[in-house]
Amino acid sequence: MLNKILNPDFFSRANRLTQLWPQLRPASSYELKDKMASHELYLFAAENKKFNIPVFIIPSMINHFYILDLENDRSFVRFLNNSGYDVYLLNWGYPEDHDRHLNFSHLVQNRLIYFLNRVQQFSGSEQMHLIGHCLGGTIATMLAAYDCRYFQSLTLLTTPIDFSAESKFKSWIQKGNVDFDLLQEAYGNVPWPLLHASFLSLKPLGQYRRLKKYISTRMTPAQKKSFWAFEMWTHDSISFRGSSYLTLIKDLYRDNRLILNQFRIDKKILKLSAITVPVLVVNSNDDTIVPPKSSTLKKENLPNSPSVENFLFSGGHVGCLVNKKTQITLWPKIADWLESKNNEL
């Protein structure tokens, strides 16, 4: 372990806290089905599969996927398994130096379309339910607008779509104090410590308040483990692929091209009107990262979708994935909504 920590590469691409505390790794078992470069396709198979149409999840690009499978009793993936779905999940992995050149066009056209074809082959289903969280939902929206034939439905969890909404991130970017081109040129992939510090700055006292509550509250061993599992994920950051980061800053945060139907994948301009499947949008009333206005979609934004439903829950940005209350109020709603969009075996 000491050799790993002293290895300069240990902190170059990601924090890798799971290597220090392996007992806090993802709760469920999964099978590696395929790999392309640093990206991996996992299958979380349902023990009692009820539906032929699988779920394909795209997590946030900035954090590790295991927030979706944090603990046995706090696992959105396991809930979907228990609801009767095989779940395929994209693990972004650790960015390599050559990933500095990975832009959204290559990501959508080559890597994601490849994985969609592999899900079709493995599942035997032509279509799937697409779910995206945070920036993974933004990419899922691009993917659905690029080629909607793969999908039966689209679910977006606290996903930024309309970047005109006021937020601290947008304010920092608009002030122009950072030369993002120079940043990307200097580092290639944007270093995770920089990204992590920016997220901590959104709520500077958040870490202190959580630790204060931890110290002052009498917790059971299980509660303590839950606390540290979430804290580990919070600080287990990943460097951001350079070219994709510049696109995020310029085309989305600055120019808001996706909601304005001006975003390009190579030479193709993406139109949200190309999304022809039902869409469920989940947003949070206390989200400091993605304000509700940024994640809300209306029928006028998706004119050819059969239905666009927004569900506002009480909680933070990742509360929809780990909050005990949302397991009772939100997760069953998502499961019922998905079931209404597919056919039983």
pLDDT in tens, the chain (345 residues): 434 444 445 455 666 555 555 555 556 789 999 999 999 999 999 999 999 999 999 999 988 899 999 888 889 999 999 999 999 999 999 898 899 999 999 999 999 999 999 999 999 999 999 999 999 999 999 999 999 999 999 999 999 999 988 777 777 777 777 788 898 888 899 988 888 888 777 777 677 677 777 788 888 888 788 887 888 888 888 899 999 999 999 999 999 999 999 999 999 999 999 999 999 999 998 888 898 999 999 999 999 999 999 999 888 888 888 888 889 999 999 999 999 998 544
Task: Give 51-99 as a DSSP string.
Answer: BSS-EEEE--SSB-GGGGEEETTEEHHHHHHHTT--EEEEE--PPPGGG
User: In the chain, what is the straight-line distance between the N-terminal and C-terminal CA atoms, in Å?
Assistant: 47
What is the chain's Cα-based Rg?
A: 19
Q: Which residue do the tokens 């039966």 mark?
A: 152
CA 201 to CA 199: how far, in whole Å? 5
Residues 6+ apart with CB under 8 A from 271: 145, 261
